[in-house]
Chain A
Amino acid sequence: MKLIGTVVLTVIGLLFWHHLAGPWFGIMIVPLLTTLLVFPKWKWAFTASFFAGIVSWGYFILPTKDTALVAKMAELIQLPNAETLVFGTLFLAGILAGSSALFGWSIRKAFEKKKRAFRPYS
């Protein structure tokens, strides 16, 4: 549930952020906040945010894949083709979201109270 919750919350958060035409670092802040809120395991935090980052950026970026501008930009950045630029960007989005989720997770973990071991009444 936490995995799904993280993905859903992150995607919604990022889409909302993008629709506000906010600055680029939403991809780093939103997964961090989501992870703080949901607090999944670290593997889940990374994985969920990784894919959430890809989905939310891909929603806007993929439709431009075949345009002349993207091809020119790929050439400018000295990438072999437009696909590399688009999928490279999506991978970057995933890494950014995932790493920020890990940061969020580490913060939450630092403040987590240690659980007491279960000791039934004797």
Chain B
Amino acid sequence: MKVLRIILFGGVFFVFFVLLERGWEPVPPLGSLLAPRVGLWEQANDLELDNEKITTVEGLLDGVTITYDSLEIPRIYATNEADMFFAQGYLHAQHRLWQMDFQARAAGGQLAEILGEALLEYDRTARRKGMRVAANHALQNELKHPDAQLALLQYTKGVNAFIETLRPKDYPLEFKLLRYKPTPWTPEKSMLLLMQMVATLSTTEYDIENTDFLLTHGEAAFTIFFPDIPSLAHPIVSKPGKWPAPMAKADSITDLWPKGFDAISRNNPFTEDVPGSNNWVLGPTRTADNSIVLCNDPHLGLQLPSLWFVNQLSQNKHRVMGASIPGLPGVVLGYNDSIAWGVTNSQRDVVDWYELLFKDDARNEYLVDYTWKKSKKELEEIRVAGMSSVFDTVVYTEFGPVVYDAHFGGNHPKTGLAYRWIGHDTDSELAAFLALNTAKNAKEITSALSKMTSVAQNFVYATTGGDYGICLSGKYPLRHHGEGRFVRDGQHSANNWNAFVPFEGHPKQQNPQRGFVASANQHHADATYPYYQYATPYQTYRNKRINEVLDARDDWTPQQLQDFQSDNFNTLASLWLPLAIAHLPDSTLSASSQAFLQVLKDWDLENTASSTAAIYFEAFWKGFYPQCIAHWFDGVTSARYPQSLTIIQLVDTAATHTLWDNPKTPEVETVTSHLHNALQVAVDQVDSLQAAGVTEWYQYKNTTLRHLARIPQFSVPQVAIGGNANIVNANTPTHGASWRFMAVVDSSGITGTGIYPGGQNGNLGSRHYTDYVEDWKNGLLLPLPLLPETTAKRRHLLKPTAL
């Protein structure tokens, strides 16, 4: 009886212990998660300062004061640069440690280690693209620059000083939920984050998809559907005939129009709904008070914790304020006492794929210029939660790492696709950003931008000296006309990137006669620009709208410009809707279709958050595009559809062409029949949506700030914000204005305002986790003044340990 009793109660005890200690998928171990002092409750309360706090940390040279304003924006006051970057690292970790760790893992292909097998392919892709190699290469280059070296090493020390203060109970909640611990920060992790940002901005390309289409349908069809530059777009810089003489490209290439290709099917979904970024600077002749006004809203993935962290960095020599990336020292976007700056993505093509021929399936040698060359192999161990490690061998060649081969995505044992990406050439991006942080005039800005390699951006700037302008940063392979659109022939070294466009040849403009500069991811220069400019894809609608509206007046006020950042005018609709309606006379429509179209005829073309007509339009448009040309992609392994503007122009100019007909169906499809089908689909869809209570545009669009680990309960769904892709207020379901900024610049100084979707604190329990969202959706900007050190009540003093 006694033994039975022990077995019974002991069994209950043991079962409880095992279940609560180990958890059961998908439930995490509830024991440690629910227990006081170690579990989730520790993150429930705001731990922000309410008065002065003093912390002694090892690694500082002198004391550092950090003050907080009511927006939880910290201002760092240090007596030297080393301490300033140390304090920034400490602050970033204090507010965003899990985010830093998670994003560095994502960049380096280490997510499966914490999230399991589902992330294995993602990790393999990152490893095979050589992200870690690129980060290490970048690190070695950055360490050659004293400023970057100091910033990176001190920043790293600051992060680690904070990590050392943590006990398990203090770990951000995500660590507890995902059952892992923070590991020491390293400069390599900072570089991984930089590489991830570079990859985000430079690796949207469709070379493989283009090749597939070309080989299926031929050159003529490709040229019709995929023009290099949308014809309606305004170039960023227009100065016909005034470009410097070009640098000639000596090599002749062999692969302008590829003849064959071992097609692969990769997960690279095409979407027209790309957001994009806007920036503009209005000179004194365009503003009511003759100031210079710089506006910028770079559009990226909408995430929580937010991508950006706002801080002021101050030390004896200089001070700078703006958006930083947790994990990287310095300020990426913002202003100092003399200059302000902002960016849009250049969209330029800085990725090529090279098809290689290996001697055998061991991939030790590949053929170049009729000679077998040795490849270099790196063995990658990918740790996977819940199972043993997976090993993958990545082959490196002079054309870059081989991503796709018979072991990953490919079919043929002797071929592979090498990935030539500008990220692998990264030189001194961080050093350049740090130089920008301290620049005092246009000359120093341009000098800083000239050092950038893989940050391919349209930088706008304004200075208290009265200059403003735009300049393209980055490094671009020198190409023959048409080069780089398809998978390339890796058997000839002449096809490799053997020369680059000199910085002097980059599109740039300062104080132009028209009184403003602007960019919105369109092509950079007019038709007389001597270098081949190609992207996949350049964009059209926003730059058209921005240039037309800004050009329409010369008395702009900051408030008007701030409002214009949230402009909801749908240029795409303004071009397509009249054409569509012309094909659908009332006599051919049912009563319900007529009523539907009447809503669109009465629409003001504004995608405001509360608009109902915007839902009608989107349902109609999505029913038409890309379905109207989907038959062209039936036999194509990887589809990239033509841009919408191309289709709209074909509707306008080639409505009777046979291209609209699907030869596999007995009917003869025309533009009109596609429109009728789209209209019927839209009528039915809108009826269903209205029955489900979806009557306002923001509900349909469902802009969501997604938690990085894709945990819905930690995300903010259905933000009531207007706009859409291709609209100035370019907020899609997943992307949007990750940072909105305005700087009013005159000789007396710079007034900076800005906002981003989210909040400063990455702790889910903090009131500053999402406190900017309401103002962000309403298009407001928050004051971001550069402040001198004051005796603010809420301040954190970091003291060095006694020597």
Chain A residues with CB under 8 Å of chain B are 18-19, 21-28, 32, 56-57, 59-61, 63-64, 67-70, 72-73, 75-77, 89, 92, 96, 99-100, 102-103, 105-107, 109-110
Contacts and interface: CB of A to CB of B under 8 A. Distances in A.
A72 B20 contact: no
Contacts of A24: 20-21, 31-32, 34-35, 38-39
Contacts of B10: 103, 106
A60 B713 contact: no
A69 B36 contact: no
Interface in B758-783: 764-765, 767, 769
12 contacts: A18-B36, A22-B37, A26-B35, A28-B13, A59-B36, A64-B41, A67-B45, A68-B769, A73-B713, A99-B16, A103-B9, A110-B6
A95 to B, nearest CB: 8
A96 B34 CA distance: 12
B512 interface: no
Chain B's interface: helix, strand, loop or mixed, by majority? helix
Interface string B37-62: 11111011100000000000000000
Given A24-B21, A68-B765, A72-B714, 5 more contacts: A21-B167, A64-B41, A69-B173, A70-B44, A106-B2
Contact of B40 (A69, A92, A105, A110): A69
A5 to B, nearest CB: 21
B631 interface: no
Q: Which of A24, A26, A76 has the most CB of B within 10 A?
A: A24
Contacts of A21: 37-38, 167-169
9 cross-chain pairs, A with B, having the tightest CB-CB distances, nearest first? A60-B36, A69-B765, A24-B35, A64-B44, A24-B31, A103-B9, A67-B44, A76-B713, A110-B2
A103 B494 CA distance: 78
Given A72-B764, A107-B6, A110-B6, A28 B16 contact: yes
B184 to A, nearest CB: 21
Interface string B162-174: 0000011100010
A72 B763 CA distance: 12
Contacts of B32: 23-24
Given A27-B35, A76-B713, A99 B764 contact: no
Contact of A28 (B5, B17, B30, B44): B17
Nearest to B715: A72
B12 interface: yes
Contacts of B17: 25, 28
A70 B41 contact: yes
Contacts of B39: 24
Contacts of A68: 764-765, 767, 769
A109 B2 contact: yes
B12 A103 contact: yes
Nearest to A107: B6
Nearest to B173: A69
A62 B582 CA distance: 66
Nearest to B707: A72
A100 B788 CA distance: 59
Nearest to B32: A24
B552 interface: no
Q: How many interface residues does chain B have, given as a range?
A: 35 or more
B710 to A, nearest CB: 12
Identify which of B16, B37, B711 gathers the most chain A CB atoms within 10 Å of its CB.
B37
Contacts of B2: 106, 109-110
Nearest to A78: B713
Nearest to A101: B9
Interface string B126-169: 00000000000000000000000000000000000000000111
Contacts of A19: 37
Contacts of A92: 30, 34
Contacts of B31: 23-25
Given A69-B43, A106-B9, A110-B6, A75 B34 contact: no
A67 B8 CA distance: 39
A49 to B, nearest CB: 12
B36 A67 contact: no
A97 to B, nearest CB: 11
Contacts of A67: 44-45, 765
B3 interface: yes
B95 to A, nearest CB: 16
Contacts of B8: 106
Contact of A110 (B3, B16, B713): B3
A69 B39 CA distance: 12
Contacts of B713: 72-73, 75-76
B170 to A, nearest CB: 9
Contacts of B40: 69-70, 73
A109 B713 CA distance: 48
Nearest to B167: A21
Given A69-B173, A72-B713, A106-B2, A57 B36 contact: yes
A106 B6 CA distance: 5
Q: Which of A27, A69, A89, A99 has the most CB of B within 10 A?
A: A69
Contacts of B21: 24-25
A109 B45 CA distance: 44
B22 to A, nearest CB: 12
A56 B35 CA distance: 10
Contacts of A27: 35
Contacts of A76: 711, 713-714
A63 B45 CA distance: 9
A69 B9 contact: no
Contacts of B36: 18, 56-57, 59-61
A109 B7 CA distance: 13
A75 B713 CA distance: 6
A73 B30 CA distance: 12
Contact of B41 (A23, A61, A102, A105): A61
Given A21-B168, A69-B44, A70-B44, A102 B34 contact: no
Given A69-B764, A106-B2, A60 B41 contact: yes
Most A CB atoms within 10 A — which of B27, B30, B40, B169? B40
A91 B161 CA distance: 39
Nearest to B169: A21
Nearest to A100: B13
B253 to A, nearest CB: 55
B761 to A, nearest CB: 12
A92 B27 CA distance: 16
A92 B168 CA distance: 22
B33 to A, nearest CB: 8
Interface in B84-114: none
B528 to A, nearest CB: 57
Contact of A102 (B9, B711, B767): B9
Contacts of B38: 21-24
Contacts of A109: 2, 5
A83 B393 CA distance: 51
B35 A64 contact: no
Contacts of A69: 40, 43-44, 173, 764-765
A107 B8 CA distance: 11
A103 B388 CA distance: 37
B207 to A, nearest CB: 41
Nearest to B35: A24
Nearest to B711: A76
Contacts of B43: 69
Nearest to A59: B36
Contact of A89 (B34, B45, B167): B34
A115 to B, nearest CB: 15
A56 B36 CA distance: 9
A99 B13 CA distance: 6
A23 B764 CA distance: 23
Nearest to A19: B37
A60 B43 CA distance: 12
A27 B32 CA distance: 11
A21 B32 CA distance: 11
Contacts of B167: 21
Nearest to B5: A106
A26 B38 CA distance: 11
